[in-house]
């Protein structure tokens, strides 16, 4: 999973699950409507709930498609993909052997699942080592290298303040590696050789792996201008994903495809509990994490030339991919929340909120009064009188602007039963 994501609930999933468990039984439908990295959706799946998951970012859809809604290890036909399995058999076994005792890999004790997984690992090793010459001519391209590395011919930027330079989200060598992997997946996808789940899985693994060698402080809003972060200097390797949670239950789950939660909630069937983890700060996630969405969309962009010609700002985002969320505007936040909850066919609502420093826009105070306004909403007649509870606990917060250090902040849960 993506780790360096603002508001990622990985570290407090158990606290939240504990509260969910007070109101829900396994098998109940629980909706995670700002699912981001899907850390909560997966924790809910693990606990036996039927999960509804949606986020405005397309990367979250692909994660949910392969890890949440999918309950199996997809069958990769190596011959069909043009991979000679025998060339990679030994190395794949070595890789799997090392993983066997790690958390998330118990499923490998099942021989059938082991064999299926081995083919996935072979595909990943193949992609990790792929050269441009292994890709059909018409799919060979260098868009990531050209746009996001300092050697590229499309990476020049001039900031609003007048600083100039070349983008360096990745080292040139890693830029080429990402291109090769993306181009091969695009070739397979164009030739209809991948199922939807296989496509989502490969592209999600690439996103997770890219995060580890990105020359950023976490978000893709900017990159380290002067130097390379130590982790960016490592060669890109593809992550071997744990699958215990994926195959843990056979429940049916529902996922939204990058929808505005204000629209999606109207399609969500009656559910027991709505878990809300909105952005509640000025940062638009589709800008801050545009690279993950770009990686997920790359294989389906019709005219790549035109797309990359139209990238804007220092970060180099094509703004057609952007979304202006009302939840990131302090004067619209409460109104949007009210709308969302009132449209939801849910019995209970649990909402996360934290008081991290990046909550406020460069020192200016929120116009909506932060916590007081949320308390007002949860005590309003949308909810049963006397049902409101506010809990607080401390958690570690990932702060992008402080490099890789983490801060302590208070995490609040607002809980109430709808009328």
* Positions that interact with ligand SAM (CB under 6 A): 5, 7-9, 34-37, 39-40, 55-57, 260-261, 277-279, 285, 325, 327
CA–CA separation, 376 and 192 (whole Å): 52
Residue 171 or 261: the one with the smaller Cβ distance to ligand SAM is 261
Question: Regarding beta strands 346-354 and 156-158, do their DSSP bridges make them parallel or antiparallel, or are they unpaired?
Answer: unpaired
The minimum distance between CB 286 and ligand SAM, in angstroms, equals: 6
CA–CA separation, 208 and 212 (whole Å): 7
Residue with tokens 């009064």: 369
Residue 126 or 285: the one with the smaller Cβ distance to ligand SAM is 285
Instruction: For residue 394, list its beta bridge partners.
Output: 410
Ordered strands of the 50-53 beta sheet: 254-255, 50-53, 29-32, 271-276, 346-354, 406-417, 389-398
Q: What string of DSSP letters covers 375-401?
A: HHHHTSTTB-TT--EEEEEEEEEE-GG
Half-sphere exposure of 231 (CA within 13 A, CB side): 16
The minimum distance between CB 155 and ligand SAM, in angstroms, equals: 26
The minimum distance between CB 344 and ligand SAM, in angstroms, equals: 13
CA–CA separation, 102 and 106 (whole Å): 8
The minimum distance between CB 43 and ligand SAM, in angstroms, equals: 9
The minimum distance between CB 394 and ligand SAM, in angstroms, equals: 17
The minimum distance between CB 243 and ligand SAM, in angstroms, equals: 20
Residue 175 or 278: the one with the smaller Cβ distance to ligand SAM is 278
Residue 114 or 323: the one with the smaller Cβ distance to ligand SAM is 323
Residue 44 or 141: the one with the smaller Cβ distance to ligand SAM is 44
How many C-beta atoms surround the C-beta of residue 306 within 10 A? Answer: 10
How many Å separate Cα 333 from the centre of its chain? 22
* Nearest partner of 253 among 241, 263, 245, 242, judged by Cα: 245
The minimum distance between CB 45 and ligand SAM, in angstroms, equals: 13
Residue 37 or 171: the one with the smaller Cβ distance to ligand SAM is 37
H or E element: which one contains 93?
helix 89-99
Residue 179 or 368: the one with the smaller Cβ distance to ligand SAM is 368
* Nearest partner of 216 among 255, 181, 167, judged by Cα: 167
Residue 63 or 383: the one with the smaller Cβ distance to ligand SAM is 63
Q: Which tokens is 253 given? A: 């789950």
Q: For 183-217, give one letter per residue: b (16+ CB within 10 A) or e.
A: bbbbbbbeeebbeebbbbbbbbbbbbbbbebbbbb
The minimum distance between CB 68 and ligand SAM, in angstroms, equals: 13
Residue 92 or 337: the one with the smaller Cβ distance to ligand SAM is 337
The minimum distance between CB 47 and ligand SAM, in angstroms, equals: 15
Give strand ranges (E) for 189-298: 254-255, 271-276
């Amino acid at each position: 999973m993506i780790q360096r994501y603002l508001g990622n609930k990985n570290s407090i999933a158990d606290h939240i699950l504990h509260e969910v468990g007070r109101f829900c039984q396994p098998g109940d439908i629980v909706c995670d409507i700002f699912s981001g990295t899907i850390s909560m959706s997966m924790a809910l799946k693990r606990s036996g709930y039927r999960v509804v998951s949606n986020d405005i970012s397309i990367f979250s859809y692909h994660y949910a498609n392969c890890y949440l809604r999918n309950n199996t290890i997809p069958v990769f036909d190596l011959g069909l993909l043009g991979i000679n399995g025998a060339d990679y058999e030994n190395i794949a076994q070595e890789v799997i052997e090392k993983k066997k005792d790690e958390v998330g890999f118990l499923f490998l004790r099942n021989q059938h699942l082991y064999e299926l997984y081995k083919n996935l690992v072979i595909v990943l090793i193949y992609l990790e080592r792929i050269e441009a010459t292994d890709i059909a001519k018409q799919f060979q391209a260098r868009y990531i290298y050209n746009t996001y590395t300092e050697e590229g011919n499309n990476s020049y930027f001039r900031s609003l303040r007048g600083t100039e330079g070349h983008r360096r989200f990745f080292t040139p060598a890693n830029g080429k590696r990402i291109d090769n992997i993306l181009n091969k997946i695009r070739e397979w996808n164009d030739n209809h050789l991948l199922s939807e789940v296989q496509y989502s899985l490969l592209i999600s693994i690439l996103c997770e792996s890219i995060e580890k060698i990105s020359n950023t402080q976490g978000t893709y809003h900017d990159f380290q201008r002067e130097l390379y972060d130590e982790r960016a200097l490592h060669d890109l390797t593809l992550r071997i994903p744990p699958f215990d949670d994926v195959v843990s239950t056979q429940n049916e789950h529902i996922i939204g495809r990058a929808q505005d939660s204000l629209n999606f909630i109207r399609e969500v069937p009656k559910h027991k509990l709505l878990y809300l983890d909105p952005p509640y700060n000025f940062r638009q996630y589709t800008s801050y994490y545009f690279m993950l969405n770009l990686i997920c969309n790359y294989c389906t962009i019709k005219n790549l030339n035109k797309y990359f010609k139209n990238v804007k700002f220092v970060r180099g985002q094509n703004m057609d991919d952007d979304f202006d969320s009302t939840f990131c505007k302090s004067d619209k936040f409460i109104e949007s929340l009210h709308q969302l909850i009132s449209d939801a066919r849910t019995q209970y609502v649990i909402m996360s909120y934290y008081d991290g420093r990046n909550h406020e826009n460069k020192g200016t105070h929120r116009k909506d009064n932060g916590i007081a306004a949320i308390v007002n909403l949860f005590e309003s007649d949308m909810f049963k009188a006397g049902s409101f509870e506010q809990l607080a606990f401390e958690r570690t917060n990932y702060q992008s602007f402080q490099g890789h250090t983490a801060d302590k902040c208070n995490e609040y849960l607002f809980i109430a039963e709808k009328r």
